[in-house]
Chain A
Amino acid sequence: MRPLDRTTWTLTWRLTRAGGRTGLLATGLAVAAAAVSTTLLLLCVAMNLGFQHRTDRTDWRNPVESSRPVAVQAMGTTFTRGEPVTVVDVAQLPGRTAPALPGLDRFPAPGELWVSPALGDLLDRLPADRHPVPGTPTGTLGRAALAHPGDLVAVIGHRATDPAVTAERAPDPRRIGDIASPTRVASFTGTPLTDGMGGMYTLLARLATVLVIVPLLVLAASAARLSVSRRDQRLAALRLIGATPGRIAGLTAAEALLTGTAGALLGAVGYGLLLPVAASLPLAGGAWYSADLWIGGLPLLAVMAGVVALVVSSALAGLRQVVVGPLGVARRSRSRGASVVRAVVFVAVVAVYGWVTREYGSADVVALFAFAAVFLALAVIGPWVVRMLGRIVTALAKRPATLLAGRRLLDDPKAAWRIVSGLTLAGFVAGFFALLTVDSAPPWGGRPDQLAIAAPAHKVGQTRTQAEQRLHAAGVSAVVGVDDGFVATSPYDSRQITATISGGTAELDRARTALTGLTPDQYPLTTTDVNWSENRFTQDFTTITRVVLVVTFTVAITSAGITAAANVLDRRRTYALLHLAGTPLRVLDTARSRETLIPLTVLAGGALATGLLCGGSMTLAGGDSSLDARGLTVLAVCCAVGVGGILAAGGLSRPLLRSVTRYAGVRGE
C-alpha cells in the first residue's frame, strides 16, 4: 500500500467535503493562509527582481571606457519641479559606426533630442522657458532605456567636437550616478553602479523580504496545523478500523496537499490580480512596469511548490502530536522539551551577527544572511524561553488559571510559542526599524531657492555677467552673486555663481532653463538637488517600513488567531470535561490568555531588544542608529497593535471555546 494511493485520495476528498461547517471553516482558513502567504511571498520576490530589472536597464547610462571607441557618452542630471531629469549626451566618433542606444533603434544624429514618454508629456505641458532640456523632441525612448514609466530621461545627439561631449565633468561623490564625464565607449551596455542608492534599494528590498517571509511561513504553518487539529477524531476512528499510521499520514499529507495547492493557486491568482496595484506603488522615483514585477514561470512555480511543501510538512508535524493511538488519546508521557542548546545557538548567532557587521559592514550580503539568521534564531530560542517561563510561572502560581497557564507552558512550550511566534518576530521588526534611521544628508550650504553653478576661477566675472544676461533675457528676477560655497563642484579651480530666485518652483525652473548650458560641464542646481536621492530614499524607506510593519503585524495577528483556534480545537475535550465538572469558562479563558500574554510580553520584549541590537549595528544610506521621536512612535504603535492584536485573537477564539465546551461530547467516541 502506498500512502498516497487512490483510496487515500478518495477518502481525503470525501472527508474534506463532509467535514461540516467547522471543517469547511478550518479548510477555508488553511487555504486562505496559504493563499495570502503565496501572494505576499511572490510580491516580495517580485520587488527584489523588480529592483534588479530597473538597475539592469539603467546600467547603460554609466559608460565604460573602451580602447576601441565608437562614440562618446556623457551624463548629467538636471531638475524640473524638484524631480531629477537624466540627460545623456552622445556623439558618434568620426569614421565609426555607433550602435543604437537602449530604447532607440538607431544612434541619435547631432541635434536630435530623444525623450522618455514621461519627459515628453512634461515638455508638452510646460512652457518652453521651463523646459529642463533644450530643443524639440525627435522621438521617444523605449522601455529598454528607462527604469520605470515615470523616469525623466533625455538623450541628446551631438557632434564629437561639441563641448557637451568634450568638456570634462566633475564626478561628485555626493551625487553618485548623477554625473558621468565624457567617456569614449564601444557600446552602450554600461556597467552597474557599485555604490549609490540603487544598492541601498536592493539591500532594503532584501531586508524587507527577510522580515516578511518568516512571519508568512509561520502563518502557513499555523493554518496547516489548524486543519490537523480538527482531524484527530476522525483519523483516530480510521485507526480504530485498521488504517495504518502510513495511511493516516497519507490522508493528512493528501489533505494538506489539496489545501496547500488550492491556496498556492489562489495565491498565484492573487499575485496576478495585485500585480497592477503593486506596480502602481511609487518606489525609487516612480511606479513600476508591470513586466518588472512579473517574476516568471519557474520562480512562480518554485514559490508555490515551497508553500505547498511547507503546508504538508507542517500538517505532518502537527499530526505526529495529535493522533497517537486508535482511541484518539494522545498518550504523552513527558514534556515536549526545549533544550538549553537553543539558547546557546541564539546567543552564538547574535554574536556572529555583531562580528559580521563589524567585519563586512552592514550593507554586505554576508551581513544580510547573518541578519536573517538572527531572525530565524528567534524561532530557535522561543520555545526554550517559553519553557523557562513555564517553570517560573508554575512555581509562583497561586491561582488555578495561573497554574494551568504555567503547566501548559512547561508541558508544551512549542505550542505556546506557535501562538506568539508571529508577534515575537514582528516585535523584532519593530525594534529593528525603530532604531534604524536614515539620516538626510547634511545641507551643503546655499538655499533651496538658490541655484549654483561652478565657474573657472579665471572666468568668474565673465560667467556671472552671462548668467545675469541670460536671466534678464528670460525675464527672471534674481539676485546673482559669487561665493566659495560647494553646492556646485567642478574638476577645475572654480568659484560658485549663485542666483537667488524668488517666485517659487516655476520661477526657479525658468532660471534653471536660462542658466542651462552656461558652462557645458554642468547643470545649475540647488542645495536640495544635491541630496535628492537621499531624500527620496528616506521617503521610500518610510514607505517600505510601514508596509513591512503592516504586513508582519497583520500576518502575525492572523497567525495568533488561527493558532489560538487550533489550540482550542486540540484541547476541546479536556475543556469540555473541565467545564462540565464545574470549571468556569472564565478560568479556562484566563488560563488561555495568560499562557499567551506572559510569553508574549517576555518574548516580544526580548525580540524587540534584539531588533534594536541588530538595527544598532546596521547603517543605511549614511544613517546612524539613534532612537528618535519617530523610532519611539514606531515602538509605541507596534506595542499597542501587538498587545491589542493578541487580545483580539484570543477574544475571537472565545466563542469557539464556548462552543466546544457546550457541544463537545462527554464520551470519547
Chain B
Amino acid sequence: MNTTSAVLTGAGLFKSYGMARALAGVDIDVTAGESLAVMGPSGSGKSTLLHCLAGIERPDSGEVLLDGKRIDQLREPARSELRRTAFGFVFQSGQLLPELPADENVALPLMLGGTARRAAVEQARQWFGPLGLQGMEDRRPGQLSGGQAQRVAIARALVGRPKVIFADEPTGALDQATGMEVIHLLTEVSRSHGAALVVVTHDANVARWCDRTVHVRDGRLAADRTAAEAGTDAKAGYRR
C-alpha cells in the first residue's frame, strides 16, 4: 500500500452490523486518476467498504484518509460537506431529482456549494457536450433513457471537480451495451479530470474497464490485481 501518493486510503478497516462482520481488516488505497473496481459476491462487504471510504459510514476501527488527512473521525455535517465537495457519486438509478431538468440536476452540487444559480447552471451545461447529452439540458429525468440518466448522474458527480468518484453498481439498471458505454464514459472522464474512481460491481465486464480490481470476500481483500496483470484491459478493444 502506497499511502504517500494515494488520494484515498483505507487502513485496517473493521465494520460490523450487530453480530455480522462486514469488514474484517481491509487495507486499500486509490491514487489520483486511477480507476478501481471492487468486486465480490453479495454480502461480501464491498458496499460497506465504499460507504466507509466515502464517509457515508464510520468504520468501527481503522482509518480513512483523504490526501493524508483522516476523514473517518469527522462529524456527520463535515463528512456531508466532504461528500459534496471532494467526492462524486453515481448510483444504480433514481439519484436524479425527477422534478428538476437535467441541467439543474447537474448544477445542484454547485449551488449547494454556494455558486449562484445562473453560474451553476452555465457551468453544468458545459458537461453536456462531452458526455453526449447535447440538447437534453431541459429534459427531466423521466424524459431520459436509462443510459442518458446515468450520463447526467456522471456529469453531476464530476461538476464539482471531485477528487474521488464513487460508483455503486452504476450499470446495474442498464442493458449490456448501454452499461458498457456508461462505464467507458465514466472511467474516461474521471481519468481525464484526474479524479480517482471507485466502482463497486458484480459485473466482470464492468471491472475490465478499470485500472485495478480488488476482490472482497468475507470482509477481507482477497485479491488485488491491475488490469494488465489480469490481462483483462477492456479499454484497448473498445470502440464506441
Contacts and interface: CB of A to CB of B under 8 A. Distances in A.
Instruction: Verify that A and B bind, or say they do not.
Output: yes
Interface of A: 327, 329-335, 397-400, 403-404, 407-408, 410-412, 573-574, 577-585, 587, 666-668
B111 A400 contact: yes
A397 B140 contact: no
B1 interface: no
A411 B100 CA distance: 8
A668 B97 contact: no
Given A333-B143, A398-B116, A583 B108 contact: yes
A582 B140 contact: no
Nearest to B100: A407
Nearest to A581: B89
B95 interface: yes
Interface string B47-82: 100010010100000000000000000000100111
Given A587-B112, A666-B47, A574 B97 contact: yes
Contacts of B82: 582
Contacts of B112: 400, 582-584, 587
Contacts of A411: 98-99, 140
A544 to B, nearest CB: 42
A159 B208 CA distance: 115
B84 A329 contact: no
A399 B110 CA distance: 11
Contacts, number: 104
Nearest to B110: A400
Contacts of B111: 399-400, 403
B133 interface: no
Contacts of B94: 329, 573-574, 577, 668
Contact of B109 (A397, A398, A582, A666): A582
Contact of A581 (B77, B98, B99, B109): B109
Given A332-B98, A333-B142, 9 more contacts: A329-B93, A404-B99, A574-B95, A580-B54, A582-B85, A582-B89, A582-B109, A583-B80, A583-B84
B172 interface: yes
A327 B112 CA distance: 30
A582 B84 contact: yes
A587 to B, nearest CB: 6
Contact of A668 (B51, B83, B88, B93): B93
B211 interface: no
B173 interface: yes
Contact of A584 (B77, B97, B140): B77
Interface range for B = 35 or more
Given A329-B93, A579-B80, A397 B98 contact: no
Given A333-B142, A407-B104, A582-B82, A577 B95 contact: yes
Contact of B173 (A327, A330, A333, A585): A327
Contact of B172 (A331, A400, A667): A667
B142 A332 contact: yes
A590 B81 CA distance: 17
Contacts of A581: 83-84, 87-89, 95, 109, 156-157
Nearest to B95: A577
A556 B65 CA distance: 50
A581 B81 CA distance: 9
B169 interface: yes
Given A331-B142, A403-B104, A577-B95, A582 B173 contact: no
A581 B89 CA distance: 6
A549 to B, nearest CB: 35
Contacts of B99: 335, 404, 407-408, 410-412
A629 B109 CA distance: 51
A228 B153 CA distance: 28
Contacts of B92: 666-668
B193 interface: no
A327 B168 CA distance: 17
A573 B96 CA distance: 10
Contact of B97 (A327, A399, A578, A667): A578
